[in-house]
Amino acid sequence: MAETTYLEAIRQGIAEEMERDPRVFLLGEDIGALGGPFRVTEGLLDRFGPTRVIDTPVSELAIVGAAAGAAHMGLRPVCEMQFIDFIACAYDMITNYVATARYRGGLSTPLVIRGPSGGYVRGGPFHSQNPEAAFLHTPGLKLVCPATARDAKGLIKSAIRDDDPVLYFEHKYLYRRVKEDLPADPEILVPLGSARVARAGHHLTVVTWSAMVWKALEAAERLDREDGLSVEVLDLRSLVPLDDAAIVASLQRTNRVLIAHEDTRTGGMAGEIAARINELAFEWLDAPVRRVCAHDVPLPYAPPLEDYILPQAEDLVAACRWLANY
Amino acid sequence: MAETTYLEAIRQGIAEEMERDPRVFLLGEDIGALGGPFRVTEGLLDRFGPTRVIDTPVSELAIVGAAAGAAHMGLRPVCEMQFIDFIACAYDMITNYVATARYRGGLSTPLVIRGPSGGYVRGGPFHSQNPEAAFLHTPGLKLVCPATARDAKGLIKSAIRDDDPVLYFEHKYLYRRVKEDLPADPEILVPLGSARVARAGHHLTVVTWSAMVWKALEAAERLDREDGLSVEVLDLRSLVPLDDAAIVASLQRTNRVLIAHEDTRTGGMAGEIAARINELAFEWLDAPVRRVCAHDVPLPYAPPLEDYILPQAEDLVAACRWLANY
Amino acid sequence: MPSSRSTAGPQPLPTDLSATDLLALYYYMRLTRVLEERLVALHRQGKVVGGLFRSLGQEADAVGSAYALEPGDMLSPLIRNLGSMLVQGATPLEVFRQYMAKAESPTAGRELNIHFSDLERGFLGQVSSLGTMVPVMAGITLYFKLTDQPRVGLVYVGDGAMSTGAFHEGLNFAAVQRVPLVVVCENNGYAYSTPTRMQTAAARLVDKAAGYGLPGVRADGNDVVATYEVTREAVTRARAGGGPTLIELVTYRRKGHAEHDDQRYLPAGELEAWEQNDPIARYRDRLIGAGWAGVEDLGREDARVETEVDGALARCIDEPFPAIGTALSGVFADPPAAEPEWYRALPGAPSDRRAGEPPHG
Amino acid sequence: MPSSRSTAGPQPLPTDLSATDLLALYYYMRLTRVLEERLVALHRQGKVVGGLFRSLGQEADAVGSAYALEPGDMLSPLIRNLGSMLVQGATPLEVFRQYMAKAESPTAGRELNIHFSDLERGFLGQVSSLGTMVPVMAGITLYFKLTDQPRVGLVYVGDGAMSTGAFHEGLNFAAVQRVPLVVVCENNGYAYSTPTRMQTAAARLVDKAAGYGLPGVRADGNDVVATYEVTREAVTRARAGGGPTLIELVTYRRKGHAEHDDQRYLPAGELEAWEQNDPIARYRDRLIGAGWAGVEDLGREDARVETEVDGALARCIDEPFPAIGTALSGVFADPPAAEPEWYRALPGAPSDRRAGEPPHG
Ligand SMILES: Cc1ncc(C[n+]2csc(CCOP(=O)(O)OP(=O)(O)O)c2C)c(N)n1
Ligand SMILES: Cc1ncc(C[n+]2csc(CCOP(=O)(O)OP(=O)(O)O)c2C)c(N)n1
Ligand SMILES: [Mg+2]
Ligand SMILES: [Mg+2]
């Protein structure tokens, strides 16, 4: 067992699936000789050759469209968006073509679209986005956002094996900052749609995912130390399908819930979760469902501005205190 | 005073603004000689000439991009999407370029993107969409959805005069079905961000917009007749900015709220409203906030399937009864 | 899919088409036209649920190009490629059912008109967003290439669709990857009301080919043999590993964009001129003139078309719409179906009460 | 913006450039290079907050093409068009401030590197999505056309960006509308690690012009006079109502995509070959060889560049980052600022209690 970074975990997961299933292949910009800007696919061209690691023109829409066509025929393409922000260029293809293919015409379209997402890295407005809300809304797409190395590996493998299109949003801040001992087990699989209790607690629940999980854990630690508050951190891991049962179960234990995400607030995932909690467990609420999210502005570049606009651990601390005192 | 249809009201509003302000011009596919597939722009080419009514190639991204460039320079473009579904093709341009232009670089981008949206017309999955949730989430875009002829006119005029980009989603089912006496007043203006009480009531509130307003009114009528329930119908008119105060005020009167929209549920606008209600007026809730929305599937073509998937007046009746009995 | 060569008839047969093939081309064009005419009648009667899109005058380009494919090849049609789909084996029965949204339609009432697929028979249905199918077919043919199968793909684009980003990205991708894809541009003069000169400043649409490093050819789209021949050549090149070809077929859309379109935007006389260039009438004259077929042969094909169309219509006209319960299945493989919304499956009482607590209010 | 013609020096001056213009071209190229070299040092010191993108070896294509514009014209640069922006009047001070995210930077710390605009001086900053600025500049030049102003726009695209749908839609739109837009493709051999032959199968990027019905010209991008001349001709045509031109400038990106890129993907010897074709060294030799400028003249320009760059850096190096409060303003004109999130402006007590009721739980 060796320490594996979040980034290596993704690479391992992809490589293992390519090894296991000859139908799996990769396409994206600069994923071959370069290995992608963050080196997620480093070494895979050498290992699997240019018919399974395909460098494409700068054409996100064509990458996804071509992946869809190949997927209809039984292949299992994994597309890289060089930065996940550019997934916007393939929005029509993803939402109108890929997402609807099975429903419209029984076309199986098992593909994965993955790429570096998220902020806290001074990337400015176009290299820091979390585009989950843009796709959450389209029936037919699954959506996962790992926070740990283990989940990064387990979810990429499950995503590749899934028979539906899966958007896999990896967080670039975690790439090399998060590592853990992973068994050399090629069957680390994390099922889509299952949340994980990242830390158990009984005073209140923070529902979150991706990089924000680490901020929530930091906040929980501090609240424990400074306030004697026991905060449960629920790492959703998948946004679609959403593990409603895990959210409700946690809420039933704590009766207070904070939803935290890095993306901007209005129209974000937190709204959906708040509505579901109302529908599924209203009577268990001892305080309003509250959100901690980025401010509703494009993400600025200057460090103090980025830090101000994005939610930080101390914001979670403050919000948890507010909820606990309610 | 003559009866003006919703469709004529849009056309009148556009024409009056073109008359009033030489900076206003139109661009879109087939908006000139054809007047658009629904004839919204009929007659405007003859009246204003080909430099103010520009037929474009089939290029939604270029239509919006060119509009943005012209808007930076002080013009006021109004773009038509032939069906609003095709706005997906301009998604990157709208969310990454247009929405961020002022924040990034102080670039003023006063443009309107409008087009026929909505279902109930046997249009199938690609001629029936309500893409509000896809844009709601992007800071920098305003979003309006009129339900009446008066608001159709008042909002298009306000949208054109607004200094920010506005998405104006008109509902094709209402085009010729909704009419009203409009004064020949060129200053019918409906401010962005202000909701309208479409029907006052005190037992519960239905928060809704666009075509669903009419279904809510029908349901309210029936609930009054059959159950003696007094249902308030709040027509939001604008989704961004959202009239939080009107929602809270209504809820404070009725203590029960149903949010109804035609678009699919998951990740839709109703989630955002549910979250805001939790944040702003949780203690006034005597029942969970509930949603009535389309089922989470691409909209099917066959009449019974479309009717099943979309929310109908009787669904609102059932949901209101549930809430009232809670 | 030409059958083996034969040499009947006084003039030599064109290219590699047999007399049987020549009759088949006639049959498919007639079938296209008659089927659409029946659909017009059904549309007037309100039996066609949505819009109706004619290919009147374009039957040759659709049929001739599709006929250049072999079994195992795949095409993706546009709204005016009913003829292409028929060549690939789509049936009048399926088409009627689609337009009338019948339960037994290929998409079970979910999609409209000829938006349906059968990967076995070799056609992949379009979606509405123009240009989309070009990258998707680039992917299908990438699959052919990656798996070393000698199969070819064919995708249609209109003069309008060529303005989309999707077309550009897809064609460029296909060209760089040298996939076995033939791209047929049907230049029918209009995109809805927009004439081709307002769609592009290029002198000819085929002039775009060089920009992608591709061979480009232009042919008379109303000559079914010509459309067959140019496509056949491109298909052969693609199959041999020579990569994509861009073909421009020049034709004319003689009906409005859809049935409701009164074509107010047409310049005077233009339509009438093209009526003189009807692809079926031209081909009929040629078949007879060259001695490749007799009047009776053609009469037999005409009768067969009528019988088949009538039979298909009779069979499905009274079929039901799909049952509403079907609408929730198949968004995902897993889960196989969505739950009905709560207000449809009305719970007798709220299910989320805190155990033992009285209800609010 | 050439000043009036003059005829000093032993060889005749090229085209319509005066001796002053020739020195200005040199000055802008040197300014670009020196400024970038300073940025490299700042980047190593961690003072450049984000990435750094060099235009080493491409200074001629940026400067020469931009120099062909007149006051009132507008250009939209790419990441390697620092030189073009300097020609349009952007200052080293602004550039330093942008890279270091200073409060006084043109975007007040919101956007990075050279993503900033000044419509007065005539440059519109890019966004990251490649291709986007082509339709936007089509709109700016549409404005020039609609308002009958004799102004011209220039937009740059890379060999990579030409694969985007945005490029295609924008160029086609511009061509159909015949707007006064010049499109300069900088073929620098790579898009990040992807060589141009994997980006397109076209023999030359300029071969795309015909597909849009446009004139296309190709020039040596490392010859600043040549880039000036081809652009000048296109600008003049555009101003006269002749519509867009597609220009391909052949050059080479001598540094990695960004500072962190080790260029592992380069074939051996390629970089070295291009180092022999440095646009500044070439131009310097030519200026001196043709007698258009003396060594002392160039020395004066070199010194001026150093002084300006040093002065700008000294002025801003210790400036502060923007104040956090500024981050909420200017998403909309109305409302002018967003509210801080509730967890930042912590309310002392919940504000939504029902009056007179005890809190829950
Ligand atoms: C991306 C997109 N934008 C707009 C439309 C609306 N639309 C449907 S058909 C059509 C014209 C198509 O013209 P063309 O490509 O020439 O095909 P034709 O109808 O002539 O066969 C338009 C604009 C669409 N379907 N997709
Ligand atoms: C739509 C889009 N996709 C991907 C990227 C990531 N990206 C940034 S620069 C670049 C390469 C650009 O190459 P080219 O257009 O040739 O410009 P150059 O850097 O060579 O000047 C890529 C792929 C992007 N910025 N935008
Ligand atoms: Mg056409
Ligand atoms: Mg390049």
Average pLDDT (A302-310) is 97
Residue C276, CA distances (Å) to B171, C181, C254, C259, D33 in order? 42, 33, 11, 22, 66
Can you give the CATH number for the domain in which A206 is found?
3.40.50.920
The reported pLDDT for the residue numbered D26 is: 98
The reported pLDDT for the residue numbered D13 is: 84
Domain with B107, as residue range(s), is 2-182
DSSP 8-state class, residue D259? T
Residue C243 and residue C224: Cα distance in Å, rounded? Answer: 24
Mean pLDDT over the full length of chain A: 97
Q: Do A74 and D180 contact (CB within 8 A), yes or no?
A: no
In a 3-state reduction of DSSP, which class is residue B314? Answer: helix
- CB contacts of D110 in chain B (<8 Å) are 103-105
Domain-located, residue B190: no
Confirm or reject contact between A55 and chain D (CB < 8 A).
yes
Tell me which chain A residue has its CA closest to the CA of residue C327: A103
With 90 as the cut, is the pLDDT of residue D6 above it?
Answer: no
B138, B156, B182 — which closes off a domain?
B182
The reported pLDDT for the residue numbered C1 is: 42
Please give the distance, rounded to the nearest whole angstrom, from the Cα atom of residue C194 to the centre of ligand 1: 10
To which H or E segment does residue C177 belong? helix C165-177
With 70 as the cut, is the pLDDT of residue D3 above it?
Answer: no
- The partner residue sitting opposite C127, judged by closest CB among A59, A71, A97, is A97
DSSP 8-state class, residue D123? B
The reported pLDDT for the residue numbered C358 is: 37
Same domain, yes or no, for B207 and B122? no
- The partner residue sitting opposite A62, judged by closest CB among C119, C141, C169, is C169
Residue D129 and residue A58: Cα distance in Å, rounded? Answer: 10
Judge: D335–B66 Cβ closer than 8 Å, yes or no. no
Average pLDDT (B148-165) is 98
Mean pLDDT over the full length of chain D: 93
Residue C130 pLDDT class (50, 70, 90 cuts): very high
Confirm or reject contact between B37 and chain A (CB < 8 A).
no
Same domain, yes or no, for A22 and A153? yes
Domain-located, residue A190: no
Residue B96 and residue B111: Cα distance in Å, rounded? Answer: 15
With 80 as the cut, is the pLDDT of residue C345 above it?
Answer: no
CB contacts under 8 A, A 99-138 vs C, are 100, 102-108
For chain C, first and last CA: distance in Å?
74
Residues of A that are catalytic: 127
Please give the distance, rounded to the nearest whole angstrom, from the Cα atom of residue C189 to the centre of ligand 3: 6
Please give the distance, rounded to the nearest whole angstrom, from the Cα atom of residue C217 to the centre of ligand 3: 18
Our CA-based measurement puts residue D110 at a distance from the nearest CA of chain A, in whole angstroms, of 4
Quote the percentage of chain A above a pLDDT of 70: 99
Q: What is the CA radius of gyration of chain B?
A: 19
Judge: C164–B288 Cβ closer than 8 Å, yes or no. no
Residue A2, CA distances (Å) to A5, A184, B42 in order? 10, 9, 70
Judge: A302–D109 Cβ closer than 8 Å, yes or no. yes
Residue B150 and residue B161: Cα distance in Å, rounded? Answer: 17
Residue B186 pLDDT class (50, 70, 90 cuts): confident
Same domain, yes or no, for A68 and A168? yes
Judge: D343–A322 Cβ closer than 8 Å, yes or no. yes
pLDDT digits (tens, 9 = 90+) for D138-151: 999 999 999 999 99
State the span(s) of chain D assigned CATH 3.40.50.970: 19-322
Same domain, yes or no, for B62 and B210? no
Which amino acid makes up residue D323? A
pLDDT digits (tens, 9 = 90+) for B302-325: 999 999 999 999 999 999 999 999
Same domain, yes or no, for B160 and B202? no
Residue A61 pLDDT class (50, 70, 90 cuts): very high
Residue A1 pLDDT class (50, 70, 90 cuts): low
**Tally of structural domains, chain B:** 2
Average pLDDT (A94-109) is 97
Q: How many CB pairs under 8 A join B and D?
A: 142
Q: What pTM value is reported for the model?
A: 0.96
> Which residues contact residue B120 at a Cβ distance below 8 angstroms, ignoring those fewer than 6 apart?
B128, B173, B211, B306, B310
With 70 as the cut, is the pLDDT of residue C361 above it?
Answer: no
pLDDT digits (tens, 9 = 90+) for A69-100: 999 999 999 999 999 999 999 999 999 999 99
Same domain, yes or no, for B273 and B146? no
Same domain, yes or no, for A284 and A141? no
Residue A131: name the closest of A10, A262, A276, A27 by CA: A262
Report the nearest atom of ligand 1 relative to the CA of C161. Answer: 15
The reported pLDDT for the residue numbered C2 is: 45
DSSP 8-state class, residue A33? S
- The partner residue sitting opposite C176, judged by closest CB among D200, D209, D210, is D200
The reported pLDDT for the residue numbered C357 is: 42
Residue C274 and residue C294: Cα distance in Å, rounded? Answer: 26
User: For C12, what's the count of Cα atoms within 13 Å in the CB-facing half-sphere?
Assistant: 3
With 70 as the cut, is the pLDDT of residue C284 above it?
Answer: yes
The reported pLDDT for the residue numbered C319 is: 98
With 50 as the cut, is the pLDDT of residue A101 above it?
Answer: yes
The reported pLDDT for the residue numbered D253 is: 98
Same domain, yes or no, for B154 and B223? no
Our CA-based measurement puts residue B54 at a distance from the nearest CA of chain C, in whole angstroms, of 10
Residues of D with a Cβ under 8 Å from any C Cβ are 163-169, 172, 175-176, 178, 198-203, 207-214, 243
Judge: D136–B74 Cβ closer than 8 Å, yes or no. no
The reported pLDDT for the residue numbered D344 is: 84
Q: Do C97 and C319 contact (CB within 8 A), yes or no?
A: yes
Judge: B318–C191 Cβ closer than 8 Å, yes or no. no
Residues of B that are catalytic: 127
CATH placement of domain D19-322:
3.40.50.970
Our CA-based measurement puts residue B263 at a distance from the nearest CA of chain D, in whole angstroms, of 26
Report the nearest atom of ligand 1 relative to the CA of C257. Answer: 19
Neighbours of ion ligand 3 (CB under 5 A): C 158-159, 188, 191
Quote the percentage of chain C above a pLDDT of 90: 89
Residue B13: name the closest of B212, B170, B130, B119 by CA: B170
Which amino acid makes up residue C293? A
Confirm or reject contact between B291 and chain A (CB < 8 A).
yes
Can you give the CATH number for the domain in which B37 is found?
3.40.50.970
Judge: B298–A99 Cβ closer than 8 Å, yes or no. yes
The reported pLDDT for the residue numbered B181 is: 95
With 70 as the cut, is the pLDDT of residue D31 above it?
Answer: yes
Same domain, yes or no, for A208 and A302? yes
Residue B1 pLDDT class (50, 70, 90 cuts): low
pLDDT digits (tens, 9 = 90+) for C8-50: 446 888 878 999 999 999 999 999 999 999 999 999 999 999 9
- The partner residue sitting opposite B134, judged by closest CB among A137, A266, A275, is A137
Residue B25 and residue B9: Cα distance in Å, rounded? Answer: 18
Please give the distance, rounded to the nearest whole angstrom, from the Cα atom of residue C219 to the centre of ligand 2: 37
> Which residues contact residue A54 at a Cβ distance below 8 angstroms, ignoring those fewer than 6 apart?
A25, A26, A27, A28, A31, A32, C177
Which ligand is nearest to the Cα of residue B126, counting in written order?
Answer: 1
* DSSP bridge pairs for B116: B170
The reported pLDDT for the residue numbered D349 is: 38
Residue B217 and residue B89: Cα distance in Å, rounded? Answer: 35
Same domain, yes or no, for B158 and B219? no
Residue B243 and residue B247: Cα distance in Å, rounded? Answer: 7
The reported pLDDT for the residue numbered C348 is: 42
Ligand 1 is surrounded, with C-beta below 6 A, by B 29, 58, 60, 82, 86, 89; C 78, 80, 128-130, 158-161, 164, 186, 188, 190-192, 253, 257
Same domain, yes or no, for A26 and A164? yes
Our CA-based measurement puts residue D234 at a distance from the nearest CA of chain A, in whole angstroms, of 27
Our CA-based measurement puts residue A134 at a distance from the nearest CA of chain D, in whole angstroms, of 17
Alpha helices (runs of H) in D45-109, residue ranges in sequence order: 59-66, 82-87, 92-99
Domain-located, residue A39: yes
Q: Which two tokens stand for residue C348?
A: 């007798």
Q: Which two tokens stand for residue D164?
A: 């985007």
The reported pLDDT for the residue numbered D345 is: 63
Q: What are phi and psi of D190, to 5 degrees?
A: -140, 150
* Residue to test with chain B: of C343, C352, C354, most B Cβ within 10 A: C343
The reported pLDDT for the residue numbered C15 is: 78
- The partner residue sitting opposite B58, judged by closest CB among C130, C326, C344, is C130
Same domain, yes or no, for B123 and B202? no
Judge: A104–C107 Cβ closer than 8 Å, yes or no. yes
> Which residues contact residue A113 at a Cβ distance below 8 angstroms, ignoring those fewer than 6 apart?
A64, A67, A79, A81, A87, A90, A94, A165, A166, A167, A168
The reported pLDDT for the residue numbered C10 is: 60
Average pLDDT (C283-305) is 97
Using alpha carbons only, give the angle A300, A305, A308 rounded to the nearest 5 degrees: 120
> Which residues contact residue C208 at a Cβ distance below 8 angstroms, ignoring those fewer than 6 apart?
C162, C202, C216, C246, D210, D211
To which H or E segment does residue D246 belong? strand D245-250
The reported pLDDT for the residue numbered C13 is: 84
- CB contacts of C346 in chain B (<8 Å) are 318, 322
Domain-located, residue B241: yes
Alpha carbon nearest to ligand 2 atom 11, residue: D191
The reported pLDDT for the residue numbered D192 is: 98
